[in-house]
Structure formats: C-alpha cells, structure tokens
A and B are shown apart, each in its own frame.
Chain A
Amino acid sequence: MAARRPDVARKRTRTSPARAPVTTVVTLRLYVAGKAPNSVKAIANLQAICRQYLKDEYRLEIVDVCEHPRRALDDGIVVTPTLAKVSPGPGANVIGNLSDTGSVLAALGLQADEQQ
C-alpha cells in the first residue's frame, strides 16, 4: 500500500495543467551585490530585455545582497548576480551578468522571435 503512493503522486503531477496564460505578468527578482561591475551590467541587461520583450507585462524587484544577506540566503542564493523568475511557474534561475539574452529568454519561457 505504502509503496504505491509515490506512483500516484507522480501521475497526478504529469497530468496537471502547467501552462500559464499568455497575458500573465512575469515577476522577476534580481539579486545583485551593490554597484559591483557584473551586478550593474546585469541590471542594465535585464531592463533592456524586459523593455523589449515584456513591455509592461513584468514586475522586477532588485535585491542588494550586501544590504539583505539573510533574505538572499533564505531564498537559496549562492552567488550574485542571480536572476530568479518568481512567477508564473515553473521558476527558473539565470546566473551571471545576463549578457546572454538567449538564456534569459529561455528562462523566462520566451523565444527571440516572440518579440514585438
């Protein structure tokens, strides 16, 4: 009896609908270290990507880990800069200065050709 439980749980997960509506506002959180070079670049790169691909359909929170280290640790952040896609699910993290637009778009669930 007890051995079957994980199977049931797995089946439910597979059949559950995971697609989010297209119009959902994307919530992002960017963890940076003050004005350190990669952090500054990550903010600029992310803002450019959001302006181009998400228009007004996003909410961005920037967390300075120098001021809020406890929060970053509680959120499981190991290094900065780290971009976390908070919602809609599935969540995703992108590490680094976000200069690779393709990987940021992939994490956001967007394609380069979806722009405009």
Chain B
Amino acid sequence: MKPPLPAERDAADLRAEAAFMDWVRQLVKGTTELQALAAGQIDAIMDPVTCSAVLLPEARAAVLARVSRSKARSGNDSGKAHAGRIAAPHRGGANRLLASLPAGEYARLLRGLEPVQLVHGEVLHEPGQEMQHIYFPTGCLVSLLMVVDDHRSLEVALVGREGMIGARAVFGLTLSPVRALVQGTGAALRIKPARFLRQFRGNPSLQRALFGFADALMNQISQTAACNHFHLVQQRLARWLLMTRERMSSSQFHLTQEFLADMLGVRRVSVTTAANALQQQKLIRYKRGNITILDQRGLEAACCSCYRHLRLTADLSAGRA
C-alpha cells in the first residue's frame, strides 16, 4: 500500500489536535481553569463520558518518559509498579480482541500499535476514503454510519472495546465503505493497515479473533438493518442506549437529540417523543443532552428483541474467536 505523504499526515495531526482542543474547550469553561490551562499548569482533564482522566500531551509525554526511565532501572520495584499503572491503558487489555491474543503474538503486534486519544465528533474516515489506520478502541466508542444522498446518515454498527475499526483491511480492501465517527471520547490503539496485514498473515490467534469479531459485526449490521425497518423509534432508542452503555461501561453519557437522530436515522422530534416516553416510564433521565439510565432491566424490557439477539450472537462469535 502507498504510504501517506508527510503533508497528509500533518494535516491529519492538525485536525486531531483541533478536535482535541475543541473537546477541551467544551469541558473547561471556568476562567481560573482556562487561565491555568493557558499557563501550562494543567496535567489532565476529567472526561465525564468515559469517566476517566485524560492527560494533556505534555503531561502524557513526561509520564511516558518517566515510565521508560523506571523500566530502564532494573530492580526498582516502585518504578515497575508505576510503569504498570500508567502503561496499563496501552497494553490493549481494555480491548477484548487484543486481550484474547497469546502474550507472544500480542507482543509482536504491539510494536506497530500507537496509543491515541479520540474525541467526540472526530471522523476517522469517510466513505470512499482510504483508511490510514486500523483502530482498536480501549476506552472510546465509534459509530459506523452509512451515508446516503451525500448528507443523510444512519448508524449501522457501534464498535467499542470488543472490536476494531477497519477489519476489511485484512481482505486487502483499504477504502472505507462507511463513515467512522467517534461517539464517545476515549483512548484507542491504532496501527497502519499494511503493518497489520503483515502481522495478520502469520498470526493464527489474531486471525481467529478477527474472524469472530467480523462475524459479530456482520450480525450487528444485519440485525440493525432489520430493526431500523420494523421496530418503533422508542424500542430502537432503548436498544441503542443499552448497547452504548455496554460498550462505554457507564450509565451516563452526553448526547444531543440531533446526534441521536442521526444515529437512528429519524427526525429530531421523533427522538424527543421517544426519549420523553422512556423518561415517563422512569427508565432514563434526559436533561440538556445528559442521559442517565435509571433502570437497566426496565430498559431491556422496553427495547425490541434485537438487543437480546445481538448479545447472543456476539457471545457466540466471541466463543468461536
């Protein structure tokens, strides 16, 4: 595959940086916080969506340098403990697909994996665009959207820690058929498709894990297509909230009605009606874009059979992997 030109990479980095700063500005609004941020006195920002602390680039670089120094000093117990704690999000343990690999095979793959922070609203690739990286979410959540008529979009799958984005690269296909949109801010590991393909060919465990995930993803897309056609918006919204909860490991998230309407492929007013109905049943609380799932069991009962079916098929696929 043709490597990306340096100018393309720079533009992508700038876009990612701009998106990150947008995200920072959304969360940090107080004058004193902004002053401290401008003075370079801030290390981390709390992300309520992923319920995690997100280190700013300078702090991250300093921590990783410190970890490297600790690792270099053999026999330093406190250094080892610290390295383990800081490096944990990068070991892939949070991504179930990577976590299923034997240690040796994972170590080989690790050399090409790069930790990144993805922010809400960031587009990883557009339909028809060449995929620059394959992503393994470790804390973020990514929606795969089918775009029709150049502007209308509909979510066809939701990928979190259980999977990856860009699995079709193993078939030698590098053009994305969908828009991959970051829905939940959080960490991920990424790798160049060509490098991943080389690893994939000589790694049977990775092949099994990926085929299992590809099967689950195909099931999810098929089930979503049928669900979008046959089921009520309220049932689909309930299913979507439960799937998001599972993948984010959190019962609270911030989502605008406009965003939800895009995900479900309906008008905003339909989302309002459906959300109000779920709220009246005390299953969720929805205020100014902040959604809290109050009653998980109740929400499961309120959603269509697709949710149970998807869970079952995902478990079966994972069992095969």
Contacts and interface: CB of A to CB of B under 8 A. Distances in A.
Nearest to A38: B43
Interface in B47-83: 48, 51-53, 55, 58-59, 62-63, 66, 82
Interface in A47-97: 65-67, 69-70, 72-73, 77-81, 93, 95-97
A33 interface: yes
A109 interface: no
B37 interface: yes
B53 A72 contact: yes
A69 B53 contact: yes
B36 A95 contact: yes
Interface size class of B (residues with CB under 8 A): 20 to 34
Contacts of A69: 46, 51-53
Contacts of A65: 44, 46, 53
A10 interface: no
A36 B51 contact: no
A79 B33 contact: yes
Given A73-B51, A80-B53, A39 B43 contact: yes
Interface stretch (B24-32, B109-117, B191-199, B260-268): B24-32
Interface residues of A, number: 25
A70 B48 CA distance: 9
A38 B53 contact: no
B86 interface: yes
B30 A78 contact: yes
B33 A34 contact: no
Contact of B59 (A37, A67, A73, A77): A37
A50 B39 CA distance: 24
B76 to A, nearest CB: 14
B48 A73 contact: yes
Contacts of B45: 78-79
Which of B32, B36, B43 counts the most chain A CB atoms within 10 A? B43
A70 B32 CA distance: 22
B85 A95 contact: no
A77 B46 contact: yes
A66 B59 contact: no
Interface of B: 27-28, 30, 32-33, 35-37, 39-46, 48, 51-53, 55, 58-59, 62-63, 66, 82, 85-86
9 contacts: A36-B55, A38-B40, A65-B46, A69-B46, A73-B51, A78-B46, A79-B45, A95-B32, A97-B41
